[in-house]
Amino acid sequence: MSNEEIREQEQERQEEKREQEVTEGGLPAIEELSEEELLKAYDEAFKLPQEGEIVKGTVVKVTHDEVLVDIGYKSEGYIPASEFERLPTGEPNVKVGDEIYVYLLRKEDPDGMIVLSKQIADQRMAWERVEKSFKEGTPVQGRVIRRVKGGLRVEIGPLKAFMPASQVDLRPVQNLEEWVGKEIEARVINLDKKSRNIVLSRRVLLEEELERKKRQLLETLQPGQVVKGVVKNITNFGAFIDLGGLDGLLHKSDMSWGRVDDPSQIVSVGDEIEVMVLKVDKENEKVSLGLKQLTPDPWETVEEKYPIGSVVKGKVVSVVDFGAFVELEEGVEGLIHVTEMSWSRRPVHPSKIVKPGDEVEVRVLDIDKERRRISLSLRQVQPNPWEEFARKHPVGSKVRGIVRTLTDFGAFVELEGGIEGLIHASDMTWARKMVNPREILKEGDEVEVVVMNVDVEKQRISLSLKHVEPDPWLTVPEKYKVGSIVEGEVVNITDFGAFVKLEEGVEGLVHISEMDTKRVEKPEDVVSIGQKVKAKVISLDPIDRRIGLSIKAYKVEQERKETERVLEKYTRPVSAGTSLGELLRKTLMEQQQKQKSD
């Protein structure tokens, strides 16, 4: 049956109904109405639906192509079935008796039928609701239907709205496709009726809810309160915990009683944890949280666990210039100062002795519970090398060592066990009472020395280099009498003269005035280091260990002796044929040759 035939049948049915109502007395004749009834009937006529209005109607018939609706008019109106969703059977998704809102397009079409539209009614009613929500700031419900450029397309009933990507959530959304098909609640933040453009924001609602929860939490949170939260973000100084609308800071110093270098080793993003509220700053909306406060403070029992003088074990957790930190247990650390690293007095960086991760045995020296400090010693759990040295090397014994440091007053020698002894400048050589140690030794030299004294309490060892050999000055007065001629090697040159080594431990001084028969401005103009020279002993002081030498006196004496030798030749008979001039010339040449050789 065609649509036209349906309309004709429906029109005939409506006419029959009206005739029946008239014949049955359903509608009185006009002449039978009073004036009051006529006015009432007139008013009712103007209350009938007008074109362009939205009215409620009742479905009276459903076909494959049309839906008939009674809106209280003289006849039913029809709506194309295409304006309804279809059932799997292909029929419109509506049934007889359903009440629906419709829009009156025309009271009568060319066929005398009322023309209605459900789509227009739905759209106008939906737009009115959206306008009201926009004005009042109330949220609207919608469903995400697809992703579009820059955001999401949202369906609000029959209307289509746009939600920018930045307004979907509190944080940037990485994958907008995940939102397609979801039912959401949002607020209308922009509305243009002319272009029928609707812009939504879900973020605004979330921010308002977050702010509400934040204010509520700030009013209810109290220091000492234990609350649950979720780790939201981790930084190098701690972690931010979401308490359900308000983020609190869990500083790494409050994560554990022990050392925390990396907060991510304690918590991870997404972890649900219990924390204690330490401080609430309502004005700045800041909350400080603690995790370690949920467990007992290990420092409360340190004095009982680690009494002073006891030997305990621990693990090196950090090495610094001034020492090493040792963890005795979680939350309890002690310091081994650099001076307590070893018995050696030679400066050694702590990293040369221990490294992080080393298990060590230490002695407890002191505990400051209030300042949370424990002083430890590594060297005091090891044998005292000073006592060991004194036992093995009594005074007078010889030992070997390495010269580590030279100073103006002596040389420090490293001995066995890492300890050091001092060779004083006065014990360097028998030659002089005081010398510059750098003239005798150099750093790194291996030397043999004699132990002169050991002070275990003050940790001092006195050594001597010169006492390795007997004192040569005991025989000097016999060997180097004043007036004797000696030969030696120039070992040192100064502004006032040169020192000549006569034998090991015995030196004499040739003063600048005693270097030559003529005036000498600089000693180095006459002698040089390593040069062999002959000189005359002109003074001797065994007590102060001084020998005065003179090259000038030696030369004068040699010249005197040569003169005497020549004069002796003059007194001898001259051989036949030899003139006196020839004899003098020959003698002079011999003298000059001898001086050159000297």
HEC-encoded secondary structure of 229-290:
EEEEEEECCEEEEECCCCEEEEEHHHCCCCCCCCHHHCCCCCCEEEEEEEEEECCCCEEEEE
In CATH, what class is 3-121? mainly beta
pLDDT at 348: 83
**Which parts of the chain register pLDDT below 50?**
1, 3, 6, 14-30, 43, 45-46, 576
Whole-angstrom Cα distance, residue 522 to residue 23?
Answer: 162
Whole-angstrom Cα distance, residue 21 to residue 7?
Answer: 21
User: Span 221-294: which CATH code?
Assistant: 2.40.50.140
Question: What is the phi/psi pair of residue 212, to 5°?
Answer: -65, -45
Residues 6+ apart with CB under 8 A from 118: 67, 79, 83, 84, 100, 101, 102, 103
Amino acid identity, position 320: V
Cβ proximity of 523 and 512 under 8 Å:
yes
Boundaries of every domain in the chain: 3-121, 221-294, 298-381, 385-468, 472-598
234-262 residue pLDDT tens: 999 999 998 887 889 999 988 888 788 88
pLDDT at 17: 45
Fold of 298-381: OB fold (Dihydrolipoamide Acetyltransferase, E2P) (2.40.50)
pLDDT at 37: 61
Helix/strand/coil for 374:
strand
Pick among 2.40.50.140, 3.20.20.70, 3.30.450.20, 3.20.20.30: CATH of 385-468: 2.40.50.140
Whole-angstrom Cα distance, residue 162 to residue 182?
Answer: 14
> How many angstroms separate the Cα of 379 from the Cα of each of 151, 317, 373, 469?
70, 18, 19, 36
Whole-angstrom Cα distance, residue 593 to residue 544?
Answer: 39
CATH superfamily of 472-598: Nucleic acid-binding proteins (2.40.50.140)
pLDDT at 389: 87
Helix/strand/coil for 432:
coil
The structure's pTM equals: 0.44
- The neighbour count for residue 228, using CB atoms within 10 Å, is 11
Residues 6+ apart with CB under 8 A from 500: 488, 489, 490, 491, 507, 508, 509, 510, 533, 535, 549
14-31 residue pLDDT tens: 444 443 433 333 444 445
Q: Which residue(s) pair with 108 in the sheet?
A: none
pLDDT at 155: 92
CA 429 to chain centre: 56
Can you spell out the DSSP letters for 66-116?
EEEEE-SSSS-EEEEGGGSPBPTTSSBS--TT-EEEEEEEES--TTSPEEE
Cβ proximity of 540 and 476 under 8 Å:
yes
Whole-angstrom Cα distance, residue 552 to residue 536?
Answer: 8
Residues 6+ apart with CB under 8 A from 453: 395, 460, 461, 462
Cβ proximity of 409 and 424 under 8 Å:
yes
Count of alpha carbons within 13 angstroms of residue 71, beta-carbon side: 31
Residues 6+ apart with CB under 8 A from 270: 230, 231
- Matching CATH topology for 3-121 and 221-294? yes
485-526 residue pLDDT tens: 999 999 999 999 999 999 888 889 999 999 998 898 999 989
Task: Say how many Å lie between the first and final Cα of the chain, rounded.
Answer: 156
pLDDT at 212: 87
Tell me the torsion sign for CA atoms 305, 308, 312, 318: positive
Cβ proximity of 453 and 395 under 8 Å:
yes
Residues 6+ apart with CB under 8 A from 433: 426, 544, 545
Strand runs labelled E in 136-225: 140-148, 151-156, 159-164, 183-192, 197-201
The number of residues in the chain equals 598
> How many angstroms separate the Cα of 574 from the Cα of each of 561, 566, 567, 568, 580?
21, 13, 13, 12, 8
